[in-house]
Structure 1
Amino acid sequence: MAVEYLGVRITSNQDRNRETREQTSKAARISGALRDIIWNNRHMRMETKIRIYKSVIRPIMTYGIETRADNQVTKNALRTAEMKILRNALGFTLRDRKRNEEIRNICGVQDIVRWGRNRRRLWNSHVDRMNEERIAKIARDGTPGTRRPIGRPPKRWRDSWTSISQEG
């Protein structure tokens, strides 16, 4: 069963890959619409283009990232979409053979996965300050009273920001 709420599909099987794929495709469509107007505008400063990326496109890609536990597939999808958009904004192609780190340094943009992990830490400290009867705190601290389904358990939200070894 799936329900769409505030533009995000909520499923009982925790399908994060589909949600991330939909968000990155939305961001890519917006970036494509901005290509002729902003990205290819030679009279616009690079700092302005990066501010537009940070305020318009990145929020679309990362909507709900504070409460979502990312796996390797979603991390790769986010990084790929981000680099495609940043290359386009700077006027680089893959044939220019610029490394991702170099492009991020030129733009002054933090890796989207690390940025998301930071957002999760901030969200966790926000929930820590909440009263005990708030739904967000109950959901974070509670344990379900049902049996786990067979198979590998999905990645937990707490594990998505606590371990530094998860940087990959």
Structure 2
Amino acid sequence: MGLIRRLRVTQRAMERAMLGVSLRDRIRNVEIRRRTKVTDIAQRVAKLKWQWAGHIVRRKDGRWGPKVLEWQPRTGKRSVGRPPTRWTDDIKRVAGSRWIQAAQNRGTWNSLQKTYVQQWTNKISFNYIVICCDC
């Protein structure tokens, strides 16, 4: 979340520089985005993550990528508190627990991509708003 927030801030700074607009001009980010017609970095990252996950799962050449996705560490006692979010947890929310089988069918996988990107970027935007308003 923090990385995506920093990428968005950097992207906005670059877009302002492209247009020659300062922060003091007080032009809204939506207006700057409309002028530059650049896609949001969070949407691009989410789309690439979804495509890469499908690519890795469809591999059949015996590499360790798909095996790592299914690996469950057994180290004895679990730590206290909520378990850390894994890389595949976001994907499982959209495609279900059998997402590896769903990724084998490219048509199904590509149809779920738009839902994933929308859900992922909305989650990041919502968390950003909650953190900012929490001050």
TM-score by length of 1: 0.50
1:50 maps to what in 2? none
Of 146, 153, 157, 2:83 maps to: 153
Which has more helix, going by share of residues? 2
1:80 maps to what in 2? 9
Provide closer, same or farther for how the CA distance between residues 104 and 160 of structure 1 changes in structure 2, counting only shifts above 3 A.
Answer: farther
* C-alpha RMSD of the superposition: 2.1
Q: Return 5+ residue gaps in structure 1 as ranges.
A: 1-70
Looking at structure 1, the residues matched to 69 and 30 of structure 2 have their Cα atoms a distance apart, in angstroms, of 34
1:108 paired to 2:65: no
TM-score by length of 2: 0.61
Provide closer, same or farther for how the CA distance between residues 133 and 149 of structure 1 changes in structure 2, counting only shifts above 3 A.
Answer: farther
For the 8 Å contact 1:114–1:167, the answer to whether it is kept is no
Which has more strand, going by share of residues? 1
How many pairs does the alignment contain?
Answer: 97
Provide closer, same or farther for how the CA distance between residues 96 and 159 of structure 1 changes in structure 2, counting only shifts above 3 A.
Answer: farther
For the 8 Å contact 1:132–1:138, the answer to whether it is kept is no
The superposition leaves residues 102-152 of structure 1 with CA deviations (integer Å, 9 ceiling, x where unpaired) of: 222222211111110001110011012102732111111221122443333
In structure 2, give the amino acid aligned to 1:158.
Answer: T
Between 1 and 2, higher relative CO (CA 8 Å, sep ≥ 6) is seen in: 2
Write out aligned runs for 1:1-168 (5 A): 71=1, 73-131=2-60, 133-147=62-76, 148-161=78-91, 162=94, 164=119, 166-168=123-125
Deviates most, 155-164 or 78-87: 155-164
Looking at structure 2, the residues matched to 108 and 95 of structure 1 have their Cα atoms a distance apart, in angstroms, of 22
Q: Return 5+ residue gaps in structure 2 as ranges.
A: 95-115, 126-135
In structure 1, give the amino acid aligned to 2:80.
Answer: I
Identity of paired residues, percent?
32
Looking at structure 1, the residues matched to 26 and 89 of structure 2 have their Cα atoms a distance apart, in angstroms, of 34
